[in-house]
Amino acid sequence: MVASVGRVEAVLNCANQDASAYNQALADFGGEISQGSSDEMKALVARMTQQTMDMQRQNNVLRAQLENSSDEIEKLRCNLEEVQNDAMTDGLTRVGNRKCFDLRLSQMAEEALRDRQGLCLMLFDVDYFKAFNDAHGHPMGDQVLRLVARTLQESVKGRDVVARYGGEEFAVILAGARLADAVKVGDGIRETVAKRRIVRKSTGEELATITTSAGVAAYRPGEPLNELIERSDNALYRAKDCGRNLVLPEAAAPEKIAARAY
């Protein structure tokens, strides 16, 4: 009996180490007990076997619950990402919204300062958009905005950001770009938009050619971001004053103008 008690302890120790090892040890022990052991010992093994089966059932239930919980957590995570994306996306054009622009400009300015890399901001405006809206209606105006947004999105790459800044105005943040390079990118976008035609789907009628104007400014390390936006906006208004369908860089900084005088 003492030997059997020791055997029981050995079997129970297996339960603390590995479930499969415990099942095997219990099966072996059950085989030993069935040969000439007392009814009391056989009853003990039967209880241990039953308890093992009960624990396995409970483990299976817990495992299933954990799997279900994992699935629910994954669904919640996906839903949260979707909500976050929607909160940063313009509903009409599906590019970034103003909130996205403000956040990404701040982040990218910090990265540019840290990594000593260039950063440029372009502000685009659809030329004579109000007149187009008045002449052809808001649904066609929405089509124009979607076309411009799509063109902008197709024209950038990598970490660059496109956002609807407000109304018919769009912003493009170019990571790692110098001013001259950004102006070239902007001019390419302007040319692409000008080649596209606005067609009324119901009739196939070609309505108009759409053009854009843009102002480009380069980030000056450490400057307030509202100054960068203001310089880009000023360049945009100069482009409009010069006849539209034009991309212009920011005016030279006062110190550069002074340097050229010598």
DSSP for 14-31, please give it: HHTT-HHHHHHHHHHHHH
Distance between CA 215 and CA 199 in Å, rounded?
Answer: 28
Distance between CA 184 and CA 83 in Å, rounded?
Answer: 36
Give bridge partners of residue 126 from the DSSP assignment: 212
Do the Cβ atoms of 129 and 85 come closer than 8 Å? no
The one catalytic residue in 168, 169, 223, 227 is: 168
Do the Cβ atoms of 124 and 189 come closer than 8 Å? yes
Which residues contact residue 184 at a Cβ distance below 8 angstroms, ignoring those fewer than 6 apart? Answer: none
Do the Cβ atoms of 203 and 108 come closer than 8 Å? no
Query: What value does the CA radius of gyration of the chain take, rounded to a whole number of Å?
Result: 35
Distance between CA 181 and CA 87 in Å, rounded?
Answer: 31
Do the Cβ atoms of 127 and 211 come closer than 8 Å? yes
Distance between CA 62 and CA 64 in Å, rounded?
Answer: 5
Give bridge partners of residue 164 from the DSSP assignment: 170
Do the Cβ atoms of 198 and 207 come closer than 8 Å? yes
DSSP for 124-143, please give it: EEETTHHHHHHHH-HHHHHH
Active-site residue 32, yes or no?
A: no
Supply the residues annotated as catalytic. 168
